[in-house]
């Protein structure tokens, strides 16, 4: 069997981009993976870990690719999409791996008529607070979820092609519209991130020696890259505010029950939370 | 060398009590460990895991112990302390492993003059969302922190004896007053617990398939036992409210920066959080 995407270009060879490259090569889904990065050093590291076969500092290197994946910070994706689109062959498939989708898809759609490539946004839910190609893992997407977010006018064939990329890397694929994606991720990722940061930053220095697994688990994602996360949160302000308000409401209910000494009510609230958490699994 | 506490009684043979028993026996620090539990079944399981050598359903079984450790839910500790004190030999050392300290120590102090035993409260920071003697681990306290919380009138010898218990199990011991303990733990444990529960309970069911490591880490402690945690939170309402307010303040600052599109401010807030989190380690 020939590789479905003989030549793939990956713009951004960090944890996610590097893992995509390694997964494609390990599974024989690509023969050539061109990494496009901002520094010779990161490209060298990506090559050393086996994430890419070729490297370039120029976005124009994506020209020969059958598939282009943009795996950079969300704030840079719309502009990179335009740069990629300007050089690819007509009808080359393009996707991204950004954590927000509405603004990226909307930006692409504004130029739909003049575009050469076919873009379908996606988001593999497989990040980590770790970074760089050294943290990459060809099995990063196995057993995980990937969300594909077509615009209203995206051809079904293109949606299927991008969905097949992620499912061939082992992910379970969901297709939904970009705004729905952003609402869901505000609840499951962006709001927890903001809260984890708030817990970490508000812990008095004198208390830090007395942190145990609870604090460490709860705040782990606050170790994520501040610039990357700032761009994600800024890009999803509306749904994030809604999700944070929902958390604040439940948190206030918990505190009200505590201050009223209402054990029955408090047990009920904590049991609700436990039920949800237990259903998700470790 | 003789065991420093030839006979130890442990009231409550769950994760923490079971781990204490196994740790004492594994290190030759006790020859006989009497487990006192509420059900034959839990005692049988504790014996099977090697946490105890003897079992009883009656608190009076602690009478012969050189050291008594109460490792039950915080709400039950004051009453159990009185029951234990009523039967121990004069000057028997008693401690507990409860997650709150002010009310437990205060309850003991109110009866100080009539007490036979010597009590010093403690709290090993080595819980888990897992439960029961099967989850116990003789190395649970190794490399962890244990806090010993004497009252103002507690003799230094007694403080040292209880401190030596925890350090002999591998913990780093801190001594502080019970109210200081409760303030610190409100920040590092109780408030994160309440928030984790709020995040889990407020996540819309439709969003649950789209949770990844961030949500899972942030909400993991919400899987803790609702009754146990209700008692902890109820017993530390004041400091908990302060800690929750501190978190809400930082969370609002983060949201304000996001809604204002103030990237510089947001990066600063997230960087502060990252700095704190990085300093604590994984």
For range A77-86, the mean pLDDT = 98
In degrees, rounded to 5, the angle at the alpha carbon of residue A270 between the alpha carbons of residues B194 and B246 is: 10
What's the rounded Cα separation, in Å, for the pair B65 and B194?
37
Question: Which residues fall within 8 angstroms of residue A125, CB to CB, at 6 or more apart?
Answer: A144, A145, A146, A147, A189, B210, B211, B212
Q: How many CB atoms lie within 10 A of CB B224?
A: 23
Q: How confident is the model at residue B1 (pLDDT cuts 50, 70, 90)?
A: low
Question: How far does the CA of residue A71 sit from the closest CA of chain B (Å)?
Answer: 18
- Is A220 a residue whose pLDDT tops 60? yes
In sign, the C-alpha dihedral spanning A223, A227, A233, A237 is positive
Residue of B nearest to A248 (CA): B198
B273 touches chain A (CB under 8 A): yes
CB contact under 8 A, B189 and A230: no
What's the rounded Cα separation, in Å, for the pair A6 and B96?
65
Residue of B nearest to A207 (CA): B184
What's the rounded Cα separation, in Å, for the pair A99 and A113?
25
Q: Which pLDDT does position B104 carry in this prediction? A: 98
CB contact under 8 A, B198 and A251: yes
Q: Which pLDDT does position B153 carry in this prediction? A: 94
Residue of A nearest to B272 (CA): A201
Residue of B nearest to A195 (CA): B251
Which residues in chain A are closer than 8 Å to B230, comparing Cβ atoms? Answer: 263, 266-267, 270
Q: How many CB atoms lie within 10 A of CB A260?
A: 12
Q: Contact, A176 vs A122, CB < 8 A?
A: no
State how far the alpha carbon of B231 is from the alpha carbons of A196, B33, B72, B98, B135, in Å.
24, 27, 11, 10, 21
Question: Which residues fall within 8 angstroms of residue A33, CB to CB, at 6 or more apart?
Answer: A7, A8, A9, A10, A21, A24, A25, A51, A52, A53, A54
Which residues in chain A are closer than 8 Å to B213, comparing Cβ atoms? Answer: 127-128, 221
- Is B80 a residue whose pLDDT tops 70? yes
Question: How far does the CA of residue B187 sit from the closest CA of chain A (Å)?
Answer: 6
Which of 154-193 (A) contact B at CB < 8 A?
A: 174, 184-185, 187-189, 191-193
Q: Which of A15, A16, A200 to mutate to test the interface with B (most CBs of B within 10 A)?
A: A200
Q: How confident is the model at residue B3 (pLDDT cuts 50, 70, 90)?
A: confident
Q: How confident is the model at residue B69 (pLDDT cuts 50, 70, 90)?
A: very high
CB contact under 8 A, A219 and B144: no
State how far the alpha carbon of B246 is from the alpha carbons of A187, A202, B104, B138, in Å.
22, 6, 26, 36
- Is B28 a residue whose pLDDT tops 80? yes
- Is B77 a residue whose pLDDT tops 60? yes
Digit-coded pLDDT (tens) for B117-174? 999 999 999 876 678 888 899 999 999 999 999 999 999 999 999 999 999 999 999 9
pTM here is: 0.94
What's the rounded Cα separation, in Å, for the pair B90 and B119?
12
State the helix-helix crossing angle for B237-259 and A226-235, rounded to 10 degrees. 70
Determine which helix (DSSP H) or strand (DSSP E) holds A19, and give its type and residue range.
Answer: helix A15-26
Count A/B contacts: CB-CB distance under 8 Å.
295
A250 touches chain B (CB under 8 A): yes
Determine which helix (DSSP H) or strand (DSSP E) holds A157, and give its type and residue range.
Answer: helix A156-168
- Is A1 a residue whose pLDDT tops 70? no
């Amino acid at each position: 069997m020939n590789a479905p995407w003989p030549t793939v270009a990956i713009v951004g060879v960090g944890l996610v981009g590097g893992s995509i490259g390694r997964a494609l090569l390990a599974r024989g889904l690509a023969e050539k993976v061109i990494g496009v990065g901002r520094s010779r050093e990161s490209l060298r590291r990506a090559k050393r870990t086996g994430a890419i076969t070729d490297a370039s500092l120029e976005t124009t290197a994506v020209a020969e690719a059958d598939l282009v994946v943009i795996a950079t910070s969300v704030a840079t994706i719309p502009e990179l999409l335009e740069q990629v689109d300007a050089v690819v062959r007509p009808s080359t498939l393009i996707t991204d791996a950004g954590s927000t989708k509405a603004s990226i898809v909307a930006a692409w759609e504004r130029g739909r008529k003049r575009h050469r490539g076919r873009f379908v946004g996606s988001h593999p839910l497989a990040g980590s607070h770790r970074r760089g190609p050294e943290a990459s893992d060809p099995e990063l997407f196995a057993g995980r979820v990937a969300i594909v977010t077509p615009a209203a006018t995206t051809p079904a064939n293109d949606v299927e092609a991008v969905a097949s990329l992620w499912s061939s890397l082992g992910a379970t694929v969901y297709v939904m519209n970009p705004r729905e994606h952003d609402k869901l991720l505000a609840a499951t990722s962006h709001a927890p991130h903001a809260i984890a940061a708030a817990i970490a930053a508000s812990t008095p220095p004198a208390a830090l020696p007395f942190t145990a697994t609870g604090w460490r688990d709860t705040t782990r994602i606050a170790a994520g890259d501040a610039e990357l996360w700032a761009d994600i949160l800024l890009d999803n302000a509306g749904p994030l505010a809604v999700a944070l308000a929902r958390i604040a409401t439940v948190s206030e209910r918990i505190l009200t029950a505590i201050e009223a000494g209402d054990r029955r009510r408090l047990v009920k609230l904590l049991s609700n939370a436990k039920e949800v958490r237990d259903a998700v699994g470790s």
